[in-house]
A = this chain, B = another copy of it.
Amino acid sequence: MLLNLDPRSNTPIWEQVVHQIKELILKEILQPEDKLPSVRELSGTLLINPNTVSKAYQELERQGIIETLRGKGTFVSASITPKADEQKIAEMKQQFKQLVIDASYLGIDQQTLSLWLKEITEELGGNNDND
> Looking at chain A, what size class is its interface with the partner chain?
35 or more
Task: Give chain B residues whose Cβ lies under 8 Å from the Cβ of A62.
Answer: 62
Considering only residues 61-91 of chain A, those with a C-beta below 8 Å from chain B are: 62-63, 65, 67, 69-70, 72, 80, 82-85, 88-89
Cα separation A89 to B23 with both chains bound (whole Å)? 20
A26 with B101, Cβ < 8 A, contacts A8-B69, A113-B117, A114-B117 known = yes
Task: Give chain B residues whose Cβ lies under 8 Å from the Cβ of A70.
Answer: 7, 12-13
Cα separation A121 to B109 with both chains bound (whole Å)? 9
Return A75 CB to nearest CB of chain B, in Å.
10
Task: Give chain B residues whose Cβ lies under 8 Å from the Cβ of A36.
Answer: none
